[in-house]
Structure 1
Amino acid sequence: MNDFPWLTTLVVLPLLGAVAVMALPRTKGERAATQSDLPQQVALGVSLLTFGVAVVTAFQFDTDASGFQLEETHNWIEAFGAHYALGVDGLGLVLVLLTVILTPVVILASWRDGDRGRWSVNSFFAWMLALEGLAIGTFAATDVFLFYVLFEATLIPIYFLIGGFGGARRSYAAIKFLIFSLLGGLVMLASVVGLYAESAGSDGGPTYLLEELAPIMAAADTDVARWLFVGFFIAFAMKAPMFPVHTWLPDAADEATPGTSVLLVSVLDKIGTFGMIRFCLGLFPEASEWATPVVLVLAVISILYGGLVAIGQRSIPRLIAYTSVSHFGFIVLGIFVMNSQGHVGATLYMFNHGLSTGVLFLVTGFLIARRGSRMIPDFGGVQTVAPVLAGIFLVGGLSSLSLPGLSPFVSEFLVMTGAFVHNWWYAVFAVFGIVLAALYILLMYQRTMTGPVRPGVEGVRDLGVREVAAMAPLLVLIIGLGFFPKPLLDVIEPSVETTLTTVGAEDPAPDVTEADVHAGGSDEEAHAE
């Protein structure tokens, strides 16, 4: 079974599904509501099939082993030393699973969102499937050149999803997103070329395979490695996004359809934090240590800035977007504190943030479609007329603020623990981000869901069967992983150990000596007497 190309299958299935959806009879515009739902049905079927294959793939993964598993390596461009190489460790597997979980949820929740686009309904769902396949490939790539190609290719589906099916300012939002992403990609391309130059001078010739590049970069000139690190980090910071290169996200989230926002923030943006671990720390350990103080300051600024700005937002999607800037600050903080608690928490945070943000964006989309407005002042008393919608929105909000008993709490607790172990000052400032989260979530819920029913809200109907069915898997995971996160932690921990070994970081030993232990025992005995 392990000889079967599981990862290639996961990449190819959605891409073939996208082609199949585009080949179906076209449905477009207002007529789509009266036409066949075949494009949606085929897209949902392909995404569920991909999910099933991913589950089977996950059972092939050995949680007791470290390093990449389910590897596939084939020569691609020999002159560059580029390979078609795929493999997953715990980090990659967790993000692949997040992708295959969210895609069918988004398709089911977005059943009618393609009707009002400038292009056919077929293209709306085909681009979603294409994004799924490309994202899986990006998380599984173990060749830097292949990763770069897929990294750039993911821009194409999301650009057309925003520009073709978004709101009134969709063209502006799509172009702004593309400019920021392409700029980051160009900076990273310079570092990719630099890796080729470094590896070309080695005994084995040019290569982009991670396992071959790591020892080459370990022996590289310090200044060269640091410049290459900077190129990768800037690209990943833009993708994540982090302060101050985050400004494209609120516009994109405000104009995109809710499903597109979920795929953008919960899946695509995770490539940024994934890349920081896989490439910044994996290839440039010394440079990562060198840059840590600056990165941690930027992470804390992102946490506080995102939270503060979110409080003042009038548009619900923009508010959720700024909360994600704050959440990504927590993830980056966990990555660069360079200890096991922080790293495990950051990786788990990526998965849990995808679930909670997915719930918030999708329920917000249901709400906007019913009310015809995304502005907070236009709401009030929704829980009176649509209690199920309000209840799910509350669970998503409480999950976003990391309420104990819900899955994000575990990851945020681990990140904060790691921050205290590294330097308590960073943790102290990050704590204010937790306070801000309670403010922006609870204030948003109070202003939109509670109080008297405002004019225009009376006609808001509650969620239907399809919409509840779309939300159910996310709610089950949020609650289930809140009480029992062990399955994901077992997958994540070996990859974290490997990364920290590469960086040369070790968890500090407990500040307790053997004499302290004996002294404690003597005190207890004396007290007992």
Structure 2
Amino acid sequence: MNLPYLTSIVIFLPLVGALLMLPMRRVSAIRWTALATTTVTFLISLLLYVGYDPAGSPAQPQFVDRITGWFPGLDIQYYVGIDGLGLLLILLTTLLGPIVVLSSWNYIDRHQKGYYTLLLVLQTGMTGVFAAYDLILFYIFFELTLIPMYFIIGIWGGEDRIYAAVKFVLYTLVGSLLMLVGILYLGFAAGDAVNGGVFTTDYFKLLAYNVPLAAQGWLFFVFALAFAIKVPLFPLHTWLPDAHVQAPTGGSVILAGVLLKMGTYGLVRFCLPFFPNAATDYALWLAVLAVVGIVYGALVSRVQADAKKLVAYSSVSHLGFVVLGIFAFTVEAMQGAIIQMINHGLSTGALFLLVGMLYERRHTRLMEEFGGIARVMPVFAFFLVFTALASAGLPGLNGFVGEFMILLGSFKSALVGHPLLIALATSGVILAAVYLLWLLYRTLFGPIQKEVNRTLPDLNAREVLLLVPLAVFMLWIGVAPGPFLKRTEPTARFLLETVEQKRLAALEEAEQPVPAASARLEVSEGETVRIANP
């Protein structure tokens, strides 16, 4: 099944909804339009999942929409499509859309039209990032996400919202502008080499171009820096806790659930196949930073008094696992990294929703203000315990699948599989249980700290409706991840095969020693992609 313009509809339908809201004045009409638009977008996006053929060629995206001739004399196109890497991330984006709208229903009490309009524009930008196969188009969508998120934090955030919003934009903008320089260089160099001298940003034409070894180092740096800031990878993470704490609940859910994945997605989509020699050369260093982030994020989470800041630092730890899996260069670790991107969006998004629900009731996020509320809010307690256990990696829930595959694949890796490094990474699973159980104990159990807590209302039907889909997917992925992994495996193998082929080709062009045949990539059904050092 390949319905025409399906990908474009999923990308731009939220933007259409935003335009429809502009002349509206009634708050109820604005809310319902935003909810209807995001819900319909999610339902349409399910056709991408149902119609995606995992047996198709991983070298070609599916559901492709393409318009050429944007700029005369330049090979810059509107080129979007779906593969196993982008599919699940797009579904995560569209799933969180109506959830964020519903979570903001009563929380956002001013400038509602602006808020919901920005949310829909933001969804268009995020979906476009995961579907773009032209680097200029990717860059436009990548930068588009900055504007609405800046205003969402800066207008509807907490007391220090301006500081957090400006810091978020400056960090991200510096990295992305450097990446733009790299895109322009690649476009001219690849145009001369593989496109008849015409500047090109077509993903597959750039993939066919072997970047010279002399240029791979600095190009990898500018691309990886932009994406590492977005992840964020330690020590580039300092903007994240401020942005999370100051953002409204809906902004935090979008930031953790989707925006951070744009960084890990970029590392997989661009840094590995475009600059394979540099990626493998620096794999161990990036893995070390990832493991430092895993341990550091977990330890800092443990000492937080603010529940929202605890969840924010946990993102640094959890996404460290994703980066470790990416640079392990094995199929298991790569698939684990992809599925862990989804897992983090589900579980951490749900944690931010739950913390936000408490804040709406008590207007405080300090854990010491609660305690014992499981007695008066049993439904809330169930969802918080369930989500915390999923985030901690309890077997049977989604977090376990991703972390297990990452650690298993990393241990097998020829590049990052040092036992000490993997042991430290594994300690992050234990530390996650420590800070998440601490969160549960301080908020749900023990003596009730304040008399006002005895009269707190439990979750209402709207709030339960928000959490049920996330809980269902957390359980589904934990119990039966096969349908999701089946769709990601061909793309993961294709990317790793491309890395090895281009790495060896670049060495041959540079007349440098090539690894022995036995050390080269060997991949067949069920085997691991192994990349040995030259």
Displacement of 1:509 in angstroms is: 10
Question: Matched residues in 1 for 2:523 and 2:137: separation?
Answer: 37
TM-score computed with the length of structure 1 as normaliser:
0.91
Secondary structure of the 1:70 match is strand
Query: Which residue of 193, 210, 213 corresponds with 1:222?
Result: 213
Q: Which runs of 4+ in 1 moved over 3 A?
A: 505-510
Q: Aligned pair count? A: 496
More off after superposition, 5-14 vs 456-465:
456-465
Secondary structure of the 1:383 match is coil
Question: Matched residues in 1 for 2:5 and 2:478: separation?
Answer: 33
Displacement of 1:80 in angstroms is: 3.8
Partner of 1:425: 420
Amino acid paired to 2:298: G
Partner of 1:450: 445
**1:28-427 mapped onto 2 (5 Å cutoff):** 37-65=28-56, 66-67=58-59, 68-75=61-68, 76-115=70-109, 117=110, 120-204=111-195, 205-216=198-209, 218=210, 220-422=211-413, 423=417, 424-427=419-422
Amino acid paired to 1:74: I
TM-score computed with the length of structure 2 as normaliser:
0.91
Partner of 1:461: 457
Asked whether 1:15 is paired with 2:15, we answer yes
Secondary structure of the 1:51 match is helix
User: What do you get for the CA RMSD once the two structures are aligned?
Assistant: 1.5
Secondary structure of the 2:66 match is strand
Amino acid paired to 2:403: E
Question: Matched residues in 1 for 2:471 and 2:424: separation?
Answer: 30
Percent identity between matched residues is 39
Displacement of 1:224 in angstroms is: 0.6
Question: Matched residues in 2 for 1:479 and 1:150: separation?
Answer: 32
Secondary structure of the 1:385 match is coil
Pair 453,44 (structure 1): closer, same or farther in 2 beyond 3 Å: same
Partner of 1:439: 434
Question: Matched residues in 1 for 2:310 and 2:71: separation?
Answer: 44
Amino acid paired to 2:344: H
More off after superposition, 345-354 vs 220-229:
220-229
1:422-443 deviation line (CA, Å, top 9, x unaligned): 1133211101111110110001
Displacement of 1:79 in angstroms is: 3.7
Pair 357,256 (structure 1): closer, same or farther in 2 beyond 3 Å: same
Amino acid paired to 2:124: G
1:150-209 deviation line (CA, Å, top 9, x unaligned): 111110111111111111111111111111111111121121121123124225221101
Question: Matched residues in 2 for 1:509 and 1:89: separation?
Answer: 20
Question: Matched residues in 2 for 1:398 and 1:110: separation?
Answer: 25
Amino acid paired to 1:431: T
1:365-396 deviation line (CA, Å, top 9, x unaligned): 00011011011111111111111111111111
Pair 251,74 (structure 1): closer, same or farther in 2 beyond 3 Å: same
Question: Matched residues in 1 for 2:401 and 2:267: separation?
Answer: 22
Displacement of 1:78 in angstroms is: 3.6
Secondary structure of the 2:449 match is coil
Displacement of 1:507 in angstroms is: 6.5
Partner of 2:516: none
Asked whether 1:478 is paired with 2:467, we answer no
Question: Matched residues in 2 for 1:255 and 1:225: separation?
Answer: 38
Pair 178,341 (structure 1): closer, same or farther in 2 beyond 3 Å: same
Report if aligned partners of 1:144, 1:210 keep a CA contact under 8 Å in 2. yes
Question: Matched residues in 2 for 1:304 and 1:77: separation?
Answer: 48
More off after superposition, 331-340 vs 478-487:
478-487
Question: Matched residues in 1 for 2:194 and 2:361: separation?
Answer: 64
Displacement of 1:254 in angstroms is: 0.5
Report if aligned partners of 2:368, 2:449 keep a CA contact under 8 Å in 1. no
More off after superposition, 470-479 vs 447-456:
447-456
